[in-house]
Structure 1
Amino acid sequence: MGAAAVAASGLPLPAAAAGRATPVRIVDDKATRETRALFQYMLDLRGQGVMFGHEHSLSDGFTFEGMDGESSDVEAVTGDYPAVFGWDTLILNGFQKPGVYGGTEEENIEALSWAFEASDAQGGINVLSAHLYNFVTGGDFWDTAGRVVSQILPGGAKHADFNAFLDRIAAGVKGAKRPDGTLIPIVFRPFHENNGGWFWWGAGHTTSAEFIEIFRYTVEYLRDTKKVRNLLYAYSPNSSFGGDPTTYLKTYPGDEFVDILGYDAYDNSAGSAEWLSGTVKDLAMVVDLAAERGKVPAFTEFGESGEEGRNPQWFTDLLGAIKGDPGANQVTHMLTWANFGGNNRAYVPFPGHVMEADFVAYHDDPYSLFTSDLEGVFDARTRAVKNDPFLHLVTPTDRQRLTTSENTIRLRLTGGHAARATYSVDGGRPVRLCLDEDGFHSAPWMVDPSWLDNRSVTITVNAKVNGREHTDSALVLLGEVAPLPAGWIDDFEGYAGDDLTLSEAYSHVNANTTTLSSDHKGSGSFGLAYSYDFTSAGYTGIGKSVGADWNDFSALKLWVQGDGSTNGATLQVVALGAYFEYNFGLSGTEGQEITAPFSEFRPAPWDTGHADELLDAAHLAEVATFNLYLGYGGTTATGTVYVDDIRAE
C-alpha cells in the first residue's frame, strides 16, 4: 500500500493524539509514553490492515553486503521498507549482524541498540526475538540437553548466568534512543514456539509450569529489577492448534505478563488450501482471545518452507486468505524471517526471484502496510492503568519432581506489599515466608526423607495485600524415579499415575491428547492412551528426547493396540539431523508387539537433504529424538490407540 492511499484508508493515524488520554492496561504500567502509544496504535489498527515485518531487513540480504541503515531486500523490490523490523538477541553473542563475532559485550550491546535505532529512523516498529544459547551445555538453541529452564529459574545452577544475559538485553534495549534521547519502543518476543520440541525451552524439555515461570521471571527482572521502560511483551507459540484456545493457552504466562498474543506458522505445502484454512482458523482464535483480554493479536512469525518458490503467488494467496476471514483479518502484523544471503533461503523475494512480482502485488495491496503507510505510530495520548497486585509461586513449580530433603519455597508478589506471607503442605500448618534480598518471599522446606517415595503433595502459598487474600499452589512429586534400562524410551510407569506429568514429558504436534491407561497396556500398571483428532490437520505427533547411542540394538520395539481404522502410524528416529521413518497400520484391535528393524527405516519423503542416508552405525551413535506420528487414512478422523513399552532392542 502506498503513502497516498493511506490518507484515504481510514487507518489509525495520530487520531488519539488529541483530546482525553486513552487508558491502556499493559504489562509495564510505568512504560514510556511512546511505548504506551505503540500499544494503542496496534489496538486501533485491528481490521484496517496488516503491517508487514521482516527479520534482519537492514543487516542481511541478497542485494547488498555492507550495512548502511538503508539497504534492504524489501526496499530493493518494493521501494519501501517493512513496517516491522525484527532483530534477535544473537546480536549480543556476535552471531548475527550487526553484532561482531569475537566482539566485546559492550560492542555487541551497542550493535543491538544501533539496530533498533536504524529501524526506527526508517519509520518502522522494532521486534526482538531471542534465540538463546544453552546455559547448561554451552551449545546453541537447538541443543535441548540439560533441562535448561529448570537450571535458570531461581535456585538453579545457571540462574546467575541467565541474569547476566538479561542484563545485556536490558542494556541494549535501554541504549536504543532517538537523537533527542527518547527511548525507542520495542516488542520483546522471548521463548517463542515453545510448544514445539526443537528449542531447549520447548515441549518435552521443560514443563508448562516451568515455562510459565521463566517467562514471568524474565518480565519481572527486566521490568522491576532493571527498570526497562520501553518494552512490550509477546507470547508466540507455534502452529497448529486446530482453533483450540485451550491448547494455545496451555503455557500462557497470564494477562499480567503479556501485551501481544502471537502465533508462528511456516508452510511447507506451497500454500495449500488445507494449510491456509488451518492458519486462518488459528489466527481467528488468537484474535478472539486477544479481544477478550485487551491484547494485541499478531502473526508473529511466518514463512514459506519446503522447496522455494513452488507457488509464485504465495504471498498474495496468504494475504487473501487472511483478508477474507473476519477474525484473522484483525491481526496487526505478520513478520517473516531473514534473508541471510548466500545459499540460504530467501524469505522475501529479491529482484529476479520467481516470487518478485507477487511480492510487489502483496506490497501494493491496500490491506498490506509498509513503512510508507504508517503515521502517528507513537503519538497517541494515553495513560497507564495501574496494575493490580499479583502473586505467584515461583519454586517449586507445578509437577516438579524434588529428590532431596533441602528445598526452598519462593513466591513473588508485585504491585503491593504483603502484611504476611506463608506456605503450607497439603493444607497443614502455615509457615512464615520472609522477604529476601532477591525480592522473593521465601523459606526453606525440609522434606522428611521418608516422603521421597514417589508420592505427591500440594504446596500452597498465601499473602494478604490490602486486606485481600492472594494464593497460588503447585502439585509436587517427591523422590527419584528408577531409571529405565538402556535403550528404553518409555514404559509409562514413572509418572506417579498423573496424566499432566505424562503430557509434559512429550512434545505435541497438532491435535492429540495423551493419558495413562490402566486397562490397555503391554505390561506393568499403565500404558499410553494416544487420542487423535484429524479434523484440522491430517497428522498428529508426540516426541521425546533420547540423546543416546543405539549401536548395541538392532530394532525399535513397542506394544500397540490399534483402533481398527485405516489410519497409519510412523516411528521416527532423528539422528545427525536426518529424519528416519518406519510405517505400520492401525487396523488391528488386539494388542501386539511391533518390531521395526533399523535396517528398514528410511529418510522421511520430505527430508530430501538426507534422501540417500541410512540409519547406520554413525547415525545410531547420535540418536537425538524419538517421535510417534499418526496419519489420517481417509475414513476415521478421531479415535484412540494404545501404546506401551517403547524401546530399542
Structure 2
Amino acid sequence: MPNSPLNRRTFVLIGAGVAMAAGTPLPVAVAATPSPAPSGAPTPVRIVDDRANPATRALFAYLRQQQGKGILFGHQHDLTHGFTFTTPDGRASDTEAAVGDHPAVFGWDTLILDGGERPGDPEGTQAENIAALSWAIRQGDARGGINTLSAHMPNFVTDGNFNDTAGHVVGQILPGGARHTKFNAFLDRIAKAVKGARRPDGTAIPVIFRPFHENNGGWFWWGAGHTTSAQFIELFRYTVEYLRDTKGVHNLLYAYSPNASFAGDPTGYLKTYPGDRFVDVLGYDSYDQSAGSAAWLDGLVKDLAMVVRLANERGKVPALTEFGESGTEGRNPNWFTDLLRAIKANPLARQATYMLTWANFGGTHRAYVPYPGHALRPDFVRYHQDPYTLFAADLKGVFSTRATAVRNAPFTHLVTPTDRQRVTISRTTVRVRVTPSHASRVTYSVNGGRRRQLHRDADGFYSGNWSIDPAWLDNRAVTLTVSAQVNGETLTDSALVLLGKVAALPAGWVDDFEAYAGDDVSLSEAYSHVNSNTTTLSTEHKSSGTYGLAYAYDFTGAEYTGIGRSVDEDWSAFSSMALWLRGDGSANAATLQVVADGAYFEYGIPLGDTSGREFTAPFSEFRPAPWDTAHAGEVLDAAHLAEVTAFNLYLGHKSAAATRGVVYVDDIRAQ
C-alpha cells in the first residue's frame, strides 16, 4: 500500500541472513509439485485448501500454466475509485478509459467492510458493507477478471487503523489473547463477504486472499518490530485455518507478500514464511521512487526472479503483488515500458503471473494507472499493446481447467507459546494444532524432559497448562517440544522460549543491546529493517557492558538501508540524542531519525571515523526529512518530543563510496 509510511523511508526486512524461527517448515520442491496428470485426466494441484471448489482449483492451475506466457495486469479498486468517474457502476474504470479494456486482476481490500473504501459506506451497517464487498468481487468476475483481496485490518487493541502500531496487537489476537474473540469476529465478516460473492449459477467466485502484506516493514501493526517472526507465522496460519476449517470458506487461494527489497537473497524473504501448507501465491511489493532508475529496476528484477525461483521450487504461483511509480507524475515518460522490458529480459522474472498496481484514489493521491490526459498515458497504452501484457479481454479459460486437489497430509504446529516468546509468569498454556486429522496422543516436553499430555479443547487445539518453576524465571531460554501421534506417524514442532522479565531501560533509552542474552535472532526481531542489512551482537566493538550492535549494510540493490524501533515515550525533558558509533572509514553517512508527533526529523553523522566514540546530536539541530514536505519548517521542540513514536537509524550510500561495510553502535539514548 503506497500511501503508508513506505514513502517515508520507513523500514522493511527483518534481518536478512538470520535463521528462520524454530519449527518453520521449508518443504522442498519434490514434495511440493504433484506429478502431471495423464492425458484427459484432471490436473492435480497442491493447494492450501484441498477442499477448494472446482473454480478455485481451476484458477490455481491456470495461473501455474500461464507462467512464461504473459503477465496479467492488475489494478486495486479499479471499478470504485478513479479520476474518470465519480459513481461506481461496476463498469467504469480508469484502466478502461485509458486503454479500452479492464485489468485482468481486480484488487479489493477489507477496508470496504468498515466503509473505509468504496463500495463500502462509513454510515452503512456491517451487513451492508459485507454485501458491498461481495458486490465488488462479483463485478470483477463479471468483467472477466480475477479477484484478489488485501487486508488493512484495524488495530484490535486500540481501535485505531492499520498504521496504529501500538498495543502489541498480534500477541493479543492469537489464541489465548485478550482480543482473540474480536479478531475472530472480523474474520467472520471476511468469510461472509467471500462466501457471499457468487455467480448467477451459485458458484462461489475464487479470490486470492492476501492478508498481512508488507509485514517486514514497520508501518503496520503486524509488521517488523511490533511482533516476532514466529508470531506472524502463527497469525497467518491461524487465519488460514480459521477461514478454511472453522468457517468453511472454500473459494480462497492464499498469498504471502513481504515488501522490497531483498537484493535477491531468499533468507530475508523466507524469514516470516508461514510454510508451503499455508501459501498458494508467493508475491512481493515494490514501489519506485527513483523515476525508474537502473538501480531500482535491477533490484526489482533480482527480487522478482528470486520469488519466481522459490515459487517454482515449491509448486506455487509467483506474482508482483504490488508495484507502482511513487514519485512525481510523469518523471519518466517510458516508466511502464521500461519496467516491462526489464522484467521480460530476465528468464525467471518474466515468469511472474501477475503484477498489480495501487488504486487511483483521486484528490492529492497519485494516479497509479494513467488516465486520459495524464503524462504517462501514451506509455501505458504501449504497455497495454505489448503482447506480453494481459488484460481482461486476453483471458481465456481461466476457470475451465478440470483440476483435482492433492490431499494434504497431516500437519502439526505449536501455536502458543511462539518461538522466542517471553513468558514472565509461572503458568502458561501450550496449544498445538493438528490438521486435517485427529491425533491419538499429543505431548509437550521442556529441554527434552518428561512428556506431558495435551488434550483436545473446545477450540480444536490440543492444549494444557505448563507449570514453570519460579526459579527458572531468570532470563534463561528453554526448548519447548511438542509431539503428535497421527496414523502411526510422529509429527513434531519446537520453540525456544525465554523465561522471566528483562529489566526496563531508563527513560529515553532506545537500546543498550544487553537484553538479548547474546541471541542475534532476538536482536533482529526487536527492529524493523529496510533493504539489505544484517544486525548481530558484537562483543568486540561496544561502548559499555557486554554487547554492542554490529550493523552490516549492503547497497547492492538500494541507495540506503535502515533499522528502526518503536519508542512511544515523552522525550520533552531531553535536549539531545546520544549514541556510541564506530564508522567503517567509508564516505557513506548515517542518519538519525526521530519520529515525533507525526513528523520525521533527521540528523546526519559521517562514517569516516573508525576510532569509536560518543556522538551527541542536539534536538535543536534536527530538521524535517526532505521528503516530509507536510512538516517542512517545523522544529523538534518540546511539543513534538512529548510524542515520540520511533527512532530509526539509516545508512546512506554516497557516490563512489563502499557498497558494503559494517558500522558498530551502542548505547542509543535521549539525554
Q: Same fold (TM over 0.5)?
A: yes
**Corresponding residue number in structure 2 for 1:385:** 406
Where 1:433 maps in the other structure, the secondary structure is strand
**Corresponding residue number in structure 2 for 1:3:** none
CA contact (8 A) 1:567 1:636 kept: yes
What's the CA shift for 1:302? Answer: 0.7
Distance across 1 between alignment mates of 2:657 and 2:206 = 51
- Identity across the alignment (%): 70
CA contact (8 A) 2:590 2:607 kept: yes
Q: Which amino acid aligns with 2:530?
A: V
Give unmatched runs, 5+ long, in structure 1.
1-15
Distance across 2 between alignment mates of 1:608 and 1:386 = 54
**Corresponding residue number in structure 2 for 1:262:** 283
What's the CA shift for 1:465? Answer: 1.3
1:364 aligns with 2:385: yes
CA contact (8 A) 1:513 1:532 kept: yes
**Corresponding residue number in structure 1 for 2:211:** 190
CA contact (8 A) 1:391 1:471 kept: yes
CA contact (8 A) 2:171 2:231 kept: yes
1:645 aligns with 2:659: no
1:230-309 alignment, distance < 5 Å: 230-309=251-330
Where 2:233 maps in the other structure, the secondary structure is helix
**Corresponding residue number in structure 2 for 1:8:** none
Where 2:542 maps in the other structure, the secondary structure is coil
1:103 aligns with 2:160: no
**Corresponding residue number in structure 2 for 1:487:** 508
The superposition leaves residues 64-99 of structure 1 with CA deviations (integer Å, 9 ceiling, x where unpaired) of 111111111111111100000000000011111111
Q: Which amino acid aligns with 1:638?
A: R
1:350 aligns with 2:378: no
Distance across 1 between alignment mates of 2:328 and 2:500 = 49
2:343 to 292, 300, 322: 322
The superposition leaves residues 365-413 of structure 1 with CA deviations (integer Å, 9 ceiling, x where unpaired) of 1111100000110000111100011110000000000111120000101
What's the CA shift for 1:632? Answer: 2.3
2:147 to 112, 120, 126: 126
TM-score (norm 1): 0.96
What's the CA shift for 1:356? Answer: 1.1
Q: Which amino acid aligns with 2:389?
A: S
1:475 to 483, 492, 496: 496
1:433-444 alignment, distance < 5 Å: 433-444=454-465
Distance across 2 between alignment mates of 1:409 and 1:19 = 48
**Corresponding residue number in structure 2 for 1:48:** 69
Where 2:292 maps in the other structure, the secondary structure is coil
The 10-residue stretch of structure 1 (212-221 or 495-504) with the greater mean CA deviation from structure 2: 495-504
TM-score (norm 2): 0.93
CA contact (8 A) 1:174 1:228 kept: yes
1:155-174 alignment, distance < 5 Å: 155-174=176-195
The superposition leaves residues 523-570 of structure 1 with CA deviations (integer Å, 9 ceiling, x where unpaired) of 112111111122222221100011122111111000111122222111
1:455 aligns with 2:455: no
The superposition leaves residues 104-143 of structure 1 with CA deviations (integer Å, 9 ceiling, x where unpaired) of 1111111110000011000010000000010011110000
**Corresponding residue number in structure 1 for 2:519:** 498
Distance across 2 between alignment mates of 1:535 and 1:82 = 34
Distance across 2 between alignment mates of 1:484 and 1:550 = 14
Distance across 2 between alignment mates of 1:613 and 1:474 = 47
What's the CA shift for 1:18? Answer: 8.4
**Corresponding residue number in structure 1 for 2:591:** 570
Q: Which amino acid aligns with 1:317?
A: D
Structure with the greater relative contact order (CA < 8 A, sep ≥ 6): 1 or 2? 2
Distance across 2 between alignment mates of 1:575 and 1:318 = 36
CA contact (8 A) 2:329 2:375 kept: no
**Corresponding residue number in structure 1 for 2:563:** 542
1:115 to 122, 127, 136: 136
What's the CA shift for 1:496? Answer: 2.1
Distance across 1 between alignment mates of 2:289 and 2:363 = 21
The 10-residue stretch of structure 1 (544-553 or 627-636) with the greater mean CA deviation from structure 2: 627-636
TM superposition outliers: structure 1 runs of 4+ over 4 Å: none
**Cα distance change on mapping 1:137 and 1:627 into 2, 3 Å:** same
Distance across 2 between alignment mates of 1:538 and 1:357 = 30
**Corresponding residue number in structure 1 for 2:95:** 74
The 10-residue stretch of structure 1 (104-113 or 514-523) with the greater mean CA deviation from structure 2: 514-523
What's the CA shift for 1:17? Answer: 13
Q: Which amino acid aligns with 1:149?
A: V
Where 2:304 maps in the other structure, the secondary structure is helix
Q: How many residues align?
A: 634
**Corresponding residue number in structure 2 for 1:373:** 394
CA contact (8 A) 1:17 1:379 kept: no
Q: Which amino acid aligns with 2:670?
A: A
What's the CA shift for 1:609? Answer: 3.1
